[in-house]
Amino acid sequence: MSTTYAGLQSVIWNDGKLDLLDQRLLPEEIVYLPLTTSEDVWEAIRHLKVRGAPAIGISAAYGVVLGSKDEQTIEGWLEQVDKQAEYLATSRPTAVNLFWALDRMKAAAAAIAGKGMSLEDSKAALLTEAIAIQSEDEETNRMIGEHALSLFKNDMGVLTHCNAGGLATAKYGTALAPFYLALERGITLRVYADETRPVLQGARLTAFELQQAGVDVTLICDNMAGMVMSKGWVDAVIVGTDRVAANGDVANKIGTYSVAVLAKAHGIPFYVACPLSTIDLNTPTGAEIPIEERSAEEVTEGFGKRTAPQGVKVFNPAFDVTPNEYVTAIITEKGIVQAPFEENLRKLFE
């Protein structure tokens, strides 16, 4: 596909180090952090310097490369790859892409070690695997965008929550991919971006990357979504996800469930866009998806200004689960899946 997409790349492998766009500083500052250890990568994932399910997985894959690069024997290297993968898996719990990428790196290392290659060649082959995870994500997202765009028509209003854009992935994003393709094809879509409390991925990242690209985007506070829908301005909702359970329940950024309920109340389709690597057939329902809880400070003094009384009790889950009955369709690189989800999601992996 010829593409004019020119968004910032969030993860760049650069000659033995990982240059990571610090997403906490956006949109005001564009700073790439040079990461050289798996500890750096762990810390970057935990503290949201890199975030978004696919970008977390890609970064962790490079983290395994960094964490095992100094081993001096094949046996030691293989052991270290497993150790580093286990360690990086503790950085965040909800996005299954993290565990998917780490499992893929472990399997790749085991296969490489079985080939009897030199240590240096083995390390290079593992790096190639991490690079493949990143470049496949780019192609996957382009295909997700194509499928998603088939659901949209010129002049439609589409609401999104959090950031499932180029910044959250290798390129294009999942939920935002159709907006970039629409732009290239002269299709006008009006995007409403929820600001996404408490860390404002919608305001800081989605509004930023869509505006940079020239997409018609309007920023709204989360609590305005119902009003905007009631005015008839929203024809569809599209969001990304951190994990889809086998029954089609979907975990995504906190607030997604409320948007889904509002969409249903207004008769608006609610679409979820994700790669197959986000679908976790080993998790039967949304009730088994581990939901990360983050620090109270994100709510009480986000961005350095105290906005709540000292000592107040705070509940700060980073994600919620939208039950499958609210999901109109799940859009993947292999096509669009509708209910019955249990059966149809399985078919994607056949």
Residue ranges of the annotated binding site are: 51-53, 92, 201, 252-253
Question: Pick from 318, 321, 331, 345: which binds ligand MRU (CB under 6 A)?
Answer: 318
User: Looking at the DSSP assignment, which residues form a beta bridge with residue 35?
Assistant: 18
* Residue window 80-99: x/- pattern of binding to ligand MRU, with contact defined by CB under 6 A: ---------------x----
According to DSSP, residue 85 is labeled: H
Distance CA 200, CA 171 (A): 21
Residue 149 interacts with ligand MRU (CB under 6 A)?
Answer: no
Q: Is 242 a catalytic residue?
A: yes
Residue 38 or 201 having the CB closest to ligand MRU? 201
How many chain residues bind ligand MRU (CB under 6 A)?
18
Question: Pick from 64, 168, 260, 321: which binds ligand MRU (CB under 6 A)?
Answer: 168
Residue 210 interacts with ligand MRU (CB under 6 A)?
Answer: no
Residue 240 interacts with ligand MRU (CB under 6 A)?
Answer: yes
CA angle 40/43/49 to nearest 5° reads 100
Question: Pick from 235, 242, 249, 280: which binds ligand MRU (CB under 6 A)?
Answer: 242
Distance of CA 233 to the CA centre of its chain: 26
Q: Which of residues 127-146 bind ligand MRU (CB under 6 A)?
A: none
- Binding-site residues for substrate sit at 51-53, 92, 201, 252-253
203 φ, ψ to 5°? -75, -50
Residue 280 interacts with ligand MRU (CB under 6 A)?
Answer: no
Give the helix/strand (H/E) hosting 337: strand 335-337
Please provide the distance, in angstroms rounded to a whole number, between the alpha carbons at the two ends of the chain: 27
194 φ, ψ to 5°? -65, 140
Distance CA 3, CA 336 (A): 23
* Residue window 26-55: x/- pattern of binding to ligand MRU, with contact defined by CB under 6 A: -------------------------xxxx-
CA atoms within 13 A on the CB side of 131: 11
Measured from the CB of residue 118, what is the shortest distance to ligand MRU in angstroms? 37
Residue whose CB is nearest to ligand MRU in the complex, by number: 240
**Strands, sheet with 17-21, edge to edge from the N-terminal-most edge strand:** 11-14, 17-21, 32-35
Instruction: Provide the annotated active-site residues.
Output: 242
